[in-house]
Amino acid sequence: MSPESRLPHPTPLVAAIPPMTPFVAPEELARRVGRTELLRLGANESAFGPSPRAIAAMRDAVALTSWYGDPESIALRTALAARHGCTVDELVIASGIDDLMGLIVRAFCGPGDACVATLGTYPTLFYHLNAFGARAEFAEPDERGGIVPDAIVDAVRRSGAKLVYVANPDNPSGGFVDRATLASLREALPSDVLLFLDEAYADFVSRDELPSDVVDPRTIRTRTFSKAFGMAGARIGYAIASSDVIAAFQKLRLHFGVNRTAQIGALAALDDDAFLRGVVAEVERGRAEYHALAAAHGAPSLPSRTNFVCIGIGTRAQADAMVTALLELGVFVRKPWAPPIDGYIRVTVGTATERAAFAERFAEALDGVREKAAR
């Protein structure tokens, strides 16, 4: 036996996991092109920041960083329970949806189990499935990268999956499925299958279009303060589910894991609906600009109910080249990873100034990509 093999080594499950980084950060991308900053339109961070009330509350809170936050987040859960018409026991707070996603996979999808998801959806799901030794069973998307309910039900039947993931609105496509379609998907799924409805972008949609707030014991919904609330750096989100489903996370979650200032900021943010409405309205204007920009260049764009828009560049290789060309011009965007929309780039709605800057560099980068394609 070599000396090296006698060093500590991870469990067989962990040793077998292929290394995988869910996303390369803009900080790292900037380093790669020798820049100190980028126009950040790639991670769907809100260009409109947190509510001034949240900022003020967080600035005040910082001096007491020496205290742990409340591990039960009672104040925040009480406010969220009132907002969603549920009980405190039907809510759990964690460090964003990525954290909740890890807990959901861990609790409901063990090693070897299948989770059904639509090909092309939010990659961090696959990171967690991979890391817990579970497997993804893909359902085919529609022509815009959106969900096909029948394909999901088929995938559950063939895989025996007990967990189904649907992001609504979806990331990276931006598509949205109405409440009636979701309700019939839920009814078509076996009752012991947990439907994981990732509503990271739901705050950009009016409440009457979203699924009812009545808690369904077969469904878990996740929400975040990272997107419309503009608090991605705070790492705070929540899940709504039956108290039985929530109870499973009490056994697994990091009880003291949520930043204290983030909890205080989130509570203040909930108290500023006017700000949130303003962000949603400005994001709608920004999406319209991006659609117009795409059309002006003869490029297709996908309908979106989020704070980003997918713009069609051409082939997958051309869209990849466009991401690189934009990066070289100092613009950070990302792109969908799977067909049929892997020939698109995904652009976050910036401020009016950022959108204008983007429009210029988009034209320049697109010219380069098209010239190369024409050669």
Encoded one letter per residue, x for contact with a second copy by CB under 8 A and - for no contact, window 24-63 reads -x-xx--x--------x--x-xxxxxx---xx--xx--xx
Q: Which positions from 136 through 175 interact with a second copy, judged by CB under 8 A?
A: 162-163
Site membership for a second copy, residue 22 (CB under 8 A)? yes
Measured CA to CA in angstroms, residue 113 lies from 7, 92, 97, 148, 230 at distances of 31, 24, 21, 22, 35
Site residues for a second copy, 224-253, by CB under 8 A, read: 226, 230-235, 242, 244-245, 247-248, 250-252
Residues in contact with 301: Cβ distance below 8 Å, sequence separation at least 6, in sequence order: 290, 291, 294, 295, 309, 310, 311, 312
DSSP helix/strand/coil, 69: coil
Size of site (CB under 8 A) for a second copy: 93
For residue 217, whether the previous peptide bond is cis, meaning omega lies within 30 degrees of 0, is no
Amino acid identity, position 332: F
Q: Is 258 in the site for a second copy (CB under 8 A)?
A: yes
> How many C-beta neighbours within 10 Å does residue 161 have?
25
Site string for a second copy, 80-99 (x = CB under 8 A): ---------------xx-xx
Residue given tokens 């900053």 in the structure block? 37
Rounded to the nearest angstrom, the gap between the alpha carbon of residue 106 and the centroid of all alpha carbons in its chain is 18
Q: Which residue of 169, 265, 343, 350 would you call a contact of a second copy, by CB under 8 A?
A: 265
> Least distance to a second copy from the beta carbon of 208, Å?
27
Q: Could you give the CA distance from residue 185 to residue 299 in angstroms, rounded to a whole number?
A: 33
Q: Residue 306: which of 278, 347, 264 has the closest Cα?
A: 347
Residues 276-335 that bind a second copy (CB under 8 A): none
Toward a second copy, which CB reaches closer, 23 or 158? 23
Binding mask 114-133 for a second copy (x = CB under 8 A): ----------------xx--
The binder of a second copy chosen from 41, 86, 92, 113 (CB under 8 A) = 113
Give least dist CB 290 to a second copy, A.
19
63 contact partners, CB below 8 Å, separation of at least 6: none
183 touching a second copy, by CB under 8 A = no
Binding-site member from 192, 208, 298, 375 for a second copy (CB under 8 A):
192
3 versus 298: smaller Cβ distance to a second copy? 3
